[in-house]
Amino acid sequence: MSDTNKKATLTVGDKTFEFPVLSPSAGPDVIDIRKLYGSTGMFTYDPSFTSTAACDSTITYIDGEEGVLLHRGYPIDQLASKSHFLEVCYLLLYGELPNGTELEKFESIVTNHTMVHEQMHRFFTGYRRDAHPMAIMVGTVGAMSAFYHDSTDINDPHQREVASIRLIAKMPTIAAMAYKYTIGQPFVYPRNDLDYASNFLRMCFAVPAEEYQVNPILARAMDRIFTLHADHEQNASTSTVRLASSSGANPFACIAAGIACLWGPAHGGANQACLEMLREIGTVDKIPEYIARAKDKNDPFRLMGFGHRVYKNFDPRATVMKESADEVLDLLGIEDNPTLQVAKELEKQALADPYFTEKKLFPNVDFYSGIILEAMGFPTSMFTPIFALSRTIGWISQWKEMIEDPTMRIGRPRQLYTGATMRDYVDVENR
């Protein structure tokens, strides 16, 4: 971020005010209005903050018009194709790709922190068996601060580092435990001889009665899902984590706040909504009917998993995710799964329809990730928890960046008040 010679001029009545214009390394210039209220006595009005830069960051850059997503400058398709999740975690957390020694050390540290405190197992018996896994994750992650007192001091760089590693390492274990609890199976402990994605799959699908072998194609697909959801700039849940952390809250509480925000169907529940739509369509022969409904402006039905609010061209994550979806479906077969049959045919018909291609309504990452998770055997209730464990590295990196910013202050959005003005209290007998 740098100052430019340009100034933005605001005229209010007969008074003129000038504000600096700042230039990022990529993306549009921004008007620095930090002194707006002091200079003019006025606020700006920007519901949902869609035109407001609330922070400066070096982590992730998105160009929605061009379909670009960069992590520390590296294109997401290159990272997803050539790298793996823990290497991307290192990149997001520390700013650069690790060398071989650094990566090996980082993987070892994360792997050796995957177990959770044994007393945390008792938490799960307090939940109903039909509790949503996201409800369990919000409560359990928030409660981690009650167990790990040696990593809650945000002013201590070492404690921040330990908290970061613990959250990255333990989130898959907690998500898998939430899943096992809801289906009535015993918890499966992590193993240090498995990679991150394989460990998660084993903790979800292994049972004590028999040996479980992780299929490398499924593990690779799972790793890509983690990678493609690692961070996505200043979205709703990331902004929630930043706002919570601005108060000085401990990192476990901040990440729990992010999980709670991600739970919303407009955010982390998009791939679940996509699978529910595919089940509503039901059979391949009904696809033309639903495509016609999607084109009808008077019909509330919309094709979920197509298009994206940020990407106005194509979702750069979708191409890599589609490769994994094809590999997984080829491995597992879709002949006996009507939902996946509908997904493949819907993708084919939508991509051949000028209505969708002209409007840039291509299948996005949620469409393909939902297909993969369904094929692997995950219920839709686990889609958002998997998203949460993937996004934890993004939240932690953004949290760490914010805490280390010397200009950080507690967040305090303003409002346009439209309620009653001052009035006198009326005693109840006179109302």
Tell me if residue 11 falls in helix, strand or coil: strand
Cβ contacts of 223 within 8 Å, gap of 6 or more = 84, 85, 195, 196, 197
* Model pLDDT for residues 127-182, shown as the tens digit of each residue: 999 999 999 999 999 999 999 999 999 999 999 999 999 999 999 999 999 999 99
pLDDT at residue 45, rounded to an integer: 92
Distance CA 365, CA 325 (A): 10
* Model pLDDT for residues 218-262, shown as the tens digit of each residue: 999 999 999 999 999 999 999 999 999 999 999 999 999 999 999
pLDDT at residue 2, rounded to an integer: 58
Distance CA 71, CA 85 (A): 12
Task: Check if 308 is active-site.
Answer: yes
Q: Which of 367, 383, 373, 393 is nearest to 133 (CA)?
A: 383
pLDDT at residue 66, rounded to an integer: 84
pLDDT at residue 364, rounded to an integer: 80
Binning pLDDT at 50, 70 and 90, where does residue 334 land? low
Contact between 212 and 205 (Cβ < 8 Å):
yes
**Do the strands 74-75 and 68-71 form a parallel or antiparallel pair, or are they unpaired?**
antiparallel
Contact between 36 and 47 (Cβ < 8 Å):
no
pLDDT at residue 3, rounded to an integer: 63
Residue 1 pLDDT greater than 60, yes or no: no
Q: For residue 55, which amino acid is it?
A: C
Q: Give the count of beta carbons closer than 10 Å to the beta carbon of residue 191.
A: 13
What does 94-108 look like in DSSP terms, one character per residue?
A: HSS---HHHHHHHHH
Is the pTM above the cut of 0.85?
A: yes
Distance CA 237, CA 23 (A): 26
pLDDT at residue 251, rounded to an integer: 96
Owner of token pair 């299929």: 215
* Residue 405 tokens, joined: 């910013």
* Residue 89 tokens, joined: 């975690």
Catalytic residue among 308, 315, 326, 336: 308
Contact between 371 and 340 (Cβ < 8 Å):
yes
With pLDDT > 70 as the criterion, what percentage of the chain qualifies?
Answer: 98
Domains of the chain: 7-53 (2.20.28.60), 72-265 (1.10.580.10), 269-376 (1.10.230.10)
With pLDDT > 90 as the criterion, what percentage of the chain qualifies?
Answer: 71
Contact between 356 and 306 (Cβ < 8 Å):
yes
Average pLDDT on 355-382 reads 86
Distance CA 299, CA 296 (A): 5
CA-based torsion, 5, 11, 17, 22: positive or negative: negative
Distance CA 254, CA 257 (A): 5
Task: Check if 366 is active-site.
Answer: yes
- The lowest-confidence range among 211-220, 250-259, 270-279 is 270-279
Binning pLDDT at 50, 70 and 90, where does residue 341 land? confident
**Do the strands 30-31 and 15-23 form a parallel or antiparallel pair, or are they unpaired?**
antiparallel
Q: Give the count of beta carbons closer than 10 Å to the beta carbon of residue 119.
A: 9
Owner of token pair 């108060």: 247
* Residue 212 tokens, joined: 């479980």
Catalytic residue among 223, 231, 315, 366: 366
Owner of token pair 């292994």: 206
